[in-house]
Amino acid sequence: QAVDWINSSRKLYILGARGSYALATTIFMLKEFREGVELMISGASDFTDKLLYTQPDDLLLTISFTLYNFTYQVTEFFKEHGNKVITITDKKDSTLGNISDLVLTTKNGEKAYTFVPGTVIINALLVKLGMVDKENTVEKLDKLKEITDRFNIYLDK
């Protein structure tokens, strides 16, 4: 269902604050083969500009294992404006999970926080999303390679 919602959304907003930010930037790689992907950053003044242009067929994907005020407020904003929300978290009945339309749960370490389970879910989403329109995905990634080669982005050894 998450793959269907992401594919049918006009724009995908991704939000992961503080400890979840690394996971949010990982799924933000989706921008390499899909247009309309925005990363919401706490403390950045441009997040309000992004909220200004949201439409009902936009989707918010939140990643949160600890509830942060910023994450909750942005999620609440999207819900108030009729948007669907997908949340990746470790507790389906969390405060954030309770206001989300779809909750993808993952186990977290009991003694220490780990990114591995969240990374597995995000990796699975990226692979499934890339496979939906495989030809377009490969075309976009090939074009990206041409661009990075042209500008010598990566050091060849």
The C-alpha atoms of residue 22 and residue 131 are separated, in whole angstroms, by 24
List the structure tokens of 109. Answer: 């370490």
| Under 8 Å between Cβ of 6 and 129 | yes
pLDDT in the model for residue 47: 84
Per-residue confidence in pLDDT tens, the chain, 157 aa = 999 999 999 999 999 988 899 999 999 999 999 999 999 987 766 788 889 999 999 999 999 988 889 999 999 999 999 999 999 998 888 899 999 999 999 887 666 677 888 999 999 999 999 999 999 999 999 999 999 999 999 887 6
The C-alpha atoms of residue 72 and residue 67 are separated, in whole angstroms, by 7
Q: What letter represents residue 58's amino acid?
A: D
pLDDT in the model for residue 109: 63
pLDDT in the model for residue 68: 86
pLDDT in the model for residue 148: 93
Per-residue 3-state assignment (H helix, E strand, C coil) for 122-142: HHHHHHHHHHHCHHHHHHHHH
pLDDT in the model for residue 100: 97
pLDDT in the model for residue 156: 72
The C-alpha atoms of residue 129 and residue 35 are separated, in whole angstroms, by 13
Collapsed DSSP state (helix, strand, coil) of residue 17: coil
> How far, CA to CA in Å, does 126 sit from each of 70, 92, 95, 121, 130?
25, 22, 26, 9, 6
pLDDT in the model for residue 67: 81
